[in-house]
């Protein structure tokens, strides 16, 4: 590892620790507010759920991280914006729950828990699939492109899971104003983050990731398609499986010569 990469890695880890401390402090303040409100405004069994949600969120975001990008987190401004928006969402939902004292609608709470379960599956399965390449920062480039597990159906299962989480949390405790904030602020931020990440991956992997983009949708589940190079039966052409190893690798790493590369990237 060069001195430059070593220095950037050290800075990245220092920034990660700073972000962890900020989030722990902020969520600790929300926890104190939750417990205080529990006794002062509204005693509720949802208090334990809120505290568990805060602990799980901090653990998942920072203590499961295995890799830092070469760029430190202070340069990942978009991630900082998402963290801020998510913290505002959590605090707003908790404050709305205790201060407005709305009656809980069981149907909406059950729906929220179902969304939270789907969110947990998407997030933790994505972390497990990525493995040692898992990182919280947007620009941490993985060592290879995953196309199995949840990535077989969506290109960004973790970001989709975060969106479901941001919708599920206020829905469970019936915080409707905060739900609007999640839909119109948190969701667009997550979508834009996915776009930024894809630009980095296209620069890194080129046609390999472009082909992956053409085969799998960004957020809406995709039924696994035939790959770009698979042949239809009865055409008389050889399938990719019958080609030599070197020829298959060449076809996987380079686009067809009769297609404008710029048009593919824009598409």
Domain that holds residue 111: 3-200
Average pLDDT, the chain: 80
User: Is 119 a member of any domain?
Assistant: yes
User: Is 174 a member of any domain?
Assistant: yes
pLDDT at site 14? 67
User: Is 245 a member of any domain?
Assistant: no
Of 126, 16, 11, nearest to 62 by C-alpha is 16
User: Is 10 a member of any domain?
Assistant: yes
Cα–Cα distances (Å) from 186 to 31, 55, 151, in that order, read 21, 20, 22
User: Is 212 a member of any domain?
Assistant: no
Residue 29's CATH number: 1.20.120.1630
User: Is 146 a member of any domain?
Assistant: yes
pLDDT at site 250? 47
> How many C-beta neighbours within 10 Å does residue 150 have?
22
State how many domains the chain has.
1
With a cut of 70, list the residues of the chain below it in pLDDT: 1-16, 68-76, 224-267
**155-203 tens-digit pLDDT:** 999 999 999 999 999 999 999 999 999 999 999 999 999 999 999 898 8
User: Is 7 a member of any domain?
Assistant: yes
pLDDT at site 145? 87
């Amino acid at each position: 590892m060069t001195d430059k990469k070593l220095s950037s890695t050290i800075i990245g880890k220092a920034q990660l620790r700073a972000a962890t401390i900020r989030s722990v402090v902020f969520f600790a303040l929300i926890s104190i507010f939750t417990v205080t409100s529990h006794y002062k405004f509204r005693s509720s069994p949802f208090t334990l759920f809120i505290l568990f949600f805060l602990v799980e969120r901090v653990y998942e975001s920072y203590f499961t991280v295995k890799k830092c990008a070469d760029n430190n987190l202070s340069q990942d401004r978009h991630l900082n914006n998402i963290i801020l928006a998510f913290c505002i969402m959590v605090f707003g939902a908790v404050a709305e729950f205790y201060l407005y004292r709305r009656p809980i609608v069981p149907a909406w709470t059950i729906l929220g828990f179902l969304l939270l379960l789907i969110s947990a599956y998407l997030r933790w399965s994505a972390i497990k699939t990525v493995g040692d390449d898992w990182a919280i920062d947007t620009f941490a480039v993985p060592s290879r492109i995953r196309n199995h597990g949840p990535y077989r159906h969506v290109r960004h299962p973790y970001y989709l899971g975060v969106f479901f989480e941001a919708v599920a949390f206020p829905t469970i405790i019936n915080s409707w104003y905060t739900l609007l904030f999640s839909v119109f602020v948190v969701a667009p931020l997550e979508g834009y983050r996915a776009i930024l990440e894809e630009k980095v991956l296209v620069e890194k992997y080129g046609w390999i990731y472009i082909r992956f983009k053409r085969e799998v949708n960004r957020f809406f589940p995709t039924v696994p398609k035939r790959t770009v190079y698979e042949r239809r039966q009865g055409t008389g052409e050889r399938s990719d499986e019958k080609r030599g190893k070197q020829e298959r690798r060449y076809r996987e790493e380079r686009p067809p010569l009769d297609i404008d590369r710029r048009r593919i990237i824009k598409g």
